[in-house]
A and B are shown apart, each in its own frame.
Chain A
Amino acid sequence: MTGSLLVAAMNFHTLLFYLFASLACGFAVGVVVADNVVRMALYLVLSLGATAGLFFLAGAEFIGAMQLMIYVGGTLVLLVFGVMLTAQAPFVSIKTSASDRVLAGVVAASLLALLLQAAFSVEAWRRPGLGEVAPPAATPIGTALVGVRVDDPPPGTPPGVRSGYLLPFEIVSVHLLVVLVGAAYLARAKRRRTPRAIEVAASVAPPVDERRRAGGSASALTAGGVR
């Protein structure tokens, strides 16, 4: 259905592409230039959301939805948590020296140039897509994840190289589990502070100091909320 829609209006598709692309890139740049962490987070969300839109346009609905769900729904909420737990006047925005910015800009420009050159270096990539219809994205991915391939082989695929993803899937799930356990361990509430932390705390600001006494993250929030 989606396929036929896009076939029917390739220009429409193009328009949407430019819309989402500009959004994504624009907000990405926004992330770079913004100083306030929370705004950065907002821009990041929007950029990622726009990227999800790009995925939808590219026919990868499943990936798009996944992007929305995990990145935006998960990662960014985590980020905002972080922001709130660590947010306080001196830290919400930490300025970087102009020289660093310039240097970074120069290096990044060279990298960008390299990537763009690579992006256009292959003639076949520059050819506009045929936009032919593909089978729905969800089922082939699902079956591929349980180790069976039901999608049509892309032209030019040598036979027998199309493998399922059962093992990577398992590995990733185990990885996720380990990661979550590790995260829970790292982020657990610390009863005792290291001496260095205490003297830093004393040196930074009174609110930090009283937060130490109160302990726990809730009062960190208050410190974050009140400016």
Chain B
Amino acid sequence: MDLSAQLPLLLGLAWLAPLVSFVAILFFGPKMGPHGRNAAWVATAAIVTSLVLSLLAAGNWLAAHPVEVSHHAAGDHGGPHTVGPVAYAGDWYTLYRGGDLRLSIGWYIDALTVLMFVVVTFIATCIHVYASGYMHDELHDVTDHEVHLSGGGHLHRPGRFPRFFQALSLFCFSMLGIVIAGNLAMVFIFWELVGICSWFLIGFYYERKSASTAANKAFIVNRVGDFGMLIGLMALWGALGTLQFADSTVPGADGAATVRPGLFSLVRPATNGHAIQVPDGMVKFAAAAELAKTPAGDVAGKIDTWRSMGFGRWLLFIAGLGIFCGCVGKSAQFPLFVWLPDAMEGPTPVSALVHSATMVAAGVYLVGRFYPVLTPDVLLVIAYVGAITLFIAATIALVANDIKRVLAYSTVSQLGYMMLALGVGGWSAGLFHLVTHAFFKSLLFLCSGSVIHACHTNDMRKMGGLARVMPWTAGTMLVGCLAIIGAGIPFVAGLSGYYSKDAILAQALSFSRANPAHSILFLAVAGGAFLTAFYMFRLWFMTFAGEPRDHHVAEHAHESPTVMVAPLVALTVLAVAAGWTLPGGFSLPNLLEQARPAGTAEGMAGGFAFGSLVFPAEHESHEGAVHVTATLTAFSTALAGVLLAALMYLWRIVSPAVVATIFKPAYAFLAGRWYFDELYHALFVVPVLGVAQLASGTDRGVIDRIIDGLAWAARQLAGIDAWIDRTIVDGLVNATARATWSAGLELKKLQTGHLRQYVMFIVVGTVALFVLASLLFRTTMAG
């Protein structure tokens, strides 16, 4: 069984296993043990199955495609990449086929897919285990102290243990669906499913107003992004007629199998050396006017002219931008990042899995997957959006006091990092950071979860000195912080973050060297690194170091149960080691290199909207100058951040309060989260409400009046009609009925019930009939 048949099978099963557990829990959840205790086992079993299958798939993949020792260090200009990545694509089932449009459930499997499968299933496994401990409150009736009933009491409700794992399973299914998807339509479907799951999970405590509003907010904000995504889909489908990533063989009109090029080979045709070019479909679409003028014969010849005239560029631009809009929504990029911090209303495992490690990474993943179609202009937009996001989020994180909110903003800013990396051409850098970030961010969230579990509060100002009561949590969280700030000994070794973040910095640096106009991107990255270091260690110090600020909290604090600590340790290991290069040359970047889209190995140049751009090839960023600078920058900024945090929160040399008072307006601005919510409220919510007021006024005042008038008229008419009906129609009917009745009364005398009389009647009738017949039609009787 060769790989092309094996991988879809393994990964497909890994994809469907959570669906099975979802259905099982959906129908039999409450029957699974007391309060559905065993639902946790079902879900965990399913996800472990997926993990095992994914690992098998990964093993097979590596056996078939060993990663070559990192070639770009050797600097050969990507020989293998001109032929494009190693990928297997195909369809399981075709939902709809009309003309040349096809919607199908298919797979597109390359190194990235396999890697994402392993990552997602691994983290999900840890979190399932963790959650089965964390959610134990839901096993019996819960009194929710955050819900104040009108009676003044608190809400008392039965536990929802199975429901939680049901949503979790559905989420895993959807996430893996996005990862394995073979075409954009399928991506979109599971994209929305993921959104739904996030809605379920954020609103898990839906009795809390904050939770339900947060859920709705997340959903609606995502809608905004998805609207852009829909536009992108329409642009692609309308102009190219396919949403498949890879080339697909379909039965043509004459039944013979014909190869239909997918998006990738349409935008980066091999004929063009996999360099990006506007596909013919878009050119024709845009040049409709000329097309009408041109005789059908020499259209083919003219297309290149039109292309050179720039027809369809904007279409491609819009397509890319649209898809990116979806990513903006899902990955909480500026300006749609406002939902993510609120999403922390959900249970902490959810925050760890959905809102830091996987779902929000889906946007980044999609950008990475969709990379070949993105024009330089789009990339630039992405880069800037990423930069803005990471800066804003980092600054807000500086002053947040809710431990989970700090992590949420850090997530946003890290996602900004990834976007920026992708935007400046650091394809593998961005995705590499996505993977490592998934590990340490989920680790951090789980740690915070266990802290919250211990203190029953999110407010860091009530914590402090927890290190001695919960050493495991403290230690693992420290590792997480070090990883996220990219700590390491320069040029020697470091935690996972060290490698990924350095790659990003290096890429950003080489980009800004190539285009000095955009060197602010590098500054954003560097500043981001500093801020990250600061707020992460601010968090750690405030939580674990020093003296307990709130003894009431401190004395209740305790180390979490093993079932919660074990995942921490597991994740810690990966947070440390995910970036390392194993002897034999295996490392995640090298693995990712296998999936690098065709033609992105060398530098790209182009762009028409924002002037000409140069995208330096990624391996150039490994050349000495760039590399050293980037590493040193990262190290120094991180160190500075840590030191500052230590000054303010560990040694208390500088008092935060004083700083806050000195920079009061800035502090307020940050504490107010740049007033984005207020801004949006003023910009969108208020106008919408106003319009709604107006509409309802019109409705009541005008339309209802008219309708009432009509109703009144109809009623009068009905009255007349009723009169006619009663008097005339009913009269007729009754008359008929009466006539029938009396006739029946007469006729019934004929039915004596005497069999013999009936026989008589029959005979007489027959005789009469035949005599008549013989008299009238003698011929028939004469035969």
B760 touches A103 (CB 8 A): yes
Which residues of chain B (730-783) have a CB below 8 Å from chain A? 756, 760, 763-764, 766-767, 770-771, 774, 781-783
B760 touches A107 (CB 8 A): yes
A31 to chain B, nearest CB (A): 15
- What residues of chain A lie closer than 8 Å to B781, measured between beta carbons? 118, 121
CA gap between A125 and B756 in the complex, in Å: 34
B760 touches A111 (CB 8 A): no
CA gap between A177 and B783 in the complex, in Å: 39
A121 touches B782 (CB 8 A): yes
In the complex, whether A133 has a CB less than 8 A from a CB of chain B is no
Task: Give the bracket for the number of chain B residues in contact with chain A.
Answer: 10 to 19
> Which of A104, A117, A118, A125 is in CB contact (< 8 Å) with B760?
A104
B760 touches A110 (CB 8 A): no
Whether A114 contacts B767 in the complex (CB less than 8 A), given A100-B756, A103-B760, A104-B760, comes out as yes
In the complex, whether A108 has a CB less than 8 A from a CB of chain B is yes
0/1 interface trace, chain B 289-330, chain A, CB 8 Å (1 if under): 000000000000000000000000000000000000000000
B756 touches A118 (CB 8 A): no
Whether A110 contacts B767 in the complex (CB less than 8 A), given A121-B783, A122-B782, A124-B783, comes out as yes
CA gap between A122 and B780 in the complex, in Å: 10
A221 to chain B, nearest CB (A): 27
- What residues of chain B lie closer than 8 Å to A121, measured between beta carbons? 781-783
A117 to chain B, nearest CB (A): 8
B782 touches A108 (CB 8 A): no
B763 touches A108 (CB 8 A): yes
Whether A114 contacts B771 in the complex (CB less than 8 A), given A104-B760, A107-B763, A107-B764, comes out as yes
- What residues of chain B lie closer than 8 Å to A104, measured between beta carbons? 756, 760
Whether A122 contacts B783 in the complex (CB less than 8 A), given A114-B770, A114-B771, comes out as yes
Whether A111 contacts B782 in the complex (CB less than 8 A), given A100-B756, A103-B760, A104-B760, comes out as no
Which residues of chain A (153-185) have a CB below 8 Å from chain B? none
- What residues of chain B lie closer than 8 Å to A100, measured between beta carbons? 756
- What residues of chain A lie closer than 8 Å to B764, measured between beta carbons? 107, 110
CA gap between A111 and B761 in the complex, in Å: 12
Chief secondary structure at chain B's binding surface: helix
Which residues of chain A (96-133) have a CB below 8 Å from chain B? 100, 103-104, 107-108, 110-111, 114, 117-118, 121-122, 124-125
> Which of A107, A122, A125 is in CB contact (< 8 Å) with B767?
A107
How many residues of chain A get a CB closer than 8 Å to chain B's CBs? Answer: 14
- What residues of chain B lie closer than 8 Å to A108, measured between beta carbons? 763
- What residues of chain B lie closer than 8 Å to A125, measured between beta carbons? 783
- What residues of chain A lie closer than 8 Å to B774, measured between beta carbons? 117
A32 to chain B, nearest CB (A): 13
- What residues of chain B lie closer than 8 Å to A103, measured between beta carbons? 760
- What residues of chain A lie closer than 8 Å to B760, measured between beta carbons? 103-104, 107
B604 to chain A, nearest CB (A): 79
CA gap between A117 and B781 in the complex, in Å: 10
CA gap between A220 and B574 in the complex, in Å: 98
Closest to B756 in A: A100
B772 to chain A, nearest CB (A): 11
A111 touches B763 (CB 8 A): yes
CA gap between A118 and B781 in the complex, in Å: 7
Closest to B771 in A: A114
Closest to B761 in A: A107
CA gap between A100 and B755 in the complex, in Å: 13
- What residues of chain A lie closer than 8 Å to B782, measured between beta carbons? 121-122
CA gap between A100 and B781 in the complex, in Å: 31
List 13 additional contacts besides A104-B760, A107-B760, A122-B782; criterion CB under 8 Å.
A104-B756, A107-B764, A107-B767, A110-B767, A114-B767, A114-B770, A114-B771, A117-B774, A118-B781, A121-B781, A121-B782, A124-B783, A125-B783
Q: List 13 A-B contacts (CB under 8 A).
A: A103-B760, A104-B756, A104-B760, A107-B763, A110-B764, A114-B770, A114-B771, A117-B774, A121-B781, A121-B782, A122-B782, A122-B783, A124-B783
List the 9 shortest-distance A-B pairs measured between CB atoms, nearest first: A122-B783, A110-B767, A107-B763, A114-B767, A114-B770, A121-B781, A111-B767, A111-B763, A121-B782
Which B residues contact A (CB, under 8 angstroms)? 756, 760, 763-764, 766-767, 770-771, 774, 781-783
